[in-house]
A = this chain, B = another copy of it.
Amino acid sequence: MKNNIFMSLYKDYAEQIDTGALRPGSKLPSENELAEAYQISRETVRKGLNLLAQNGYINKVKGKGSFVLDTGRLKFPISGLVSYKELSERLGKKSRTLVYATERVPAGGDIAKELRIEANQPVWKVIRSREIDGERIILDIDYLLAEIIPNLTKDIAADSIYQYLEQELLLKISYAEKVISVERATNMDHQYMDLKDDTHVVVVRGYVHLEDTTLFQYTESRHRLDKFQFVDFARRISRVEA
């Protein structure tokens, strides 16, 4: 049970903007007014507002104020570290997860290299495809360190692995590196996805770390070309003279 004040403020406004209660272009109360209204200090208000700005909810302009951005125009950002379950819940699409494998195996050479472990160390190998509107358009292949995750079931894989890790095992997922590229479709792609006559797929490789920087998961998320979209929100870091 956390009770960060600035997180409450963040959530208040994120929700108001998500639901459309606050229209794009409208002006937020000033930082001083918010500090007064929430009965908190201005620096705490600023933490909440900065989080909103980082996530593309608002734009802050010196001397003028903070303004709601048009978030609805673009689809939801897939950037960031969000699980498929969390994402599909936000999108409200009817989707289904098909679990083809949830097995504990010794890591092969390729996987050991990606996870930076010794070959033959035990890992969980999970193969799932995501079906949306009746078509299997994503193939997720996950490898998780068995040393850290003692048990894993098909049921967990069908629901949400992250939820299990965070809420049951109390693991602290911290950060991930992702690499997106386009590659030739493999036999496995054709087997587990409805690919039609595509020759290529989009591959999103993910390297997920715990708080202590342990690399505990390597993921290949393979997407059908015509259904792939990645949305990114980027702020320009103020350039200062070198």
Contact = CB atoms under 8 A, between A and B. Distances in A.
Interface of A: 1-2, 4, 7, 11, 25, 43, 54, 56, 59, 61, 64, 67, 69, 74, 79-81, 166, 173-182, 199-200, 202, 209, 211-213, 225-226, 228-241
Q: How many monomers of this protein are in the complex?
A: 2
A236 B165 CA distance: 13
A239 B166 contact: yes
Contacts of A236: 80-81, 173-176
6 contacts: A43-B43, A79-B234, A176-B234, A182-B202, A182-B228, A200-B200
Interface of A is mostly: mixed
A215 to B, nearest CB: 9
Given A200-B225, A211-B61, A241-B1, A234 B178 contact: yes
Given A74-B177, A175-B235, A178-B232, A67 B240 contact: no
Contact of A2 (B61, B181, B229, B240): B240
Residue of A200, A212, A213 most packed against chain B (CB within 10 A):
A213
Contacts of A240: 2, 4, 7, 11
A4 B239 CA distance: 11
Given A80-B236, A175-B233, A199-B199, 14 more contacts: A54-B54, A59-B175, A59-B213, A67-B213, A81-B235, A175-B235, A176-B234, A178-B231, A178-B234, A180-B228, A180-B230, A182-B202, A182-B226, A232-B232
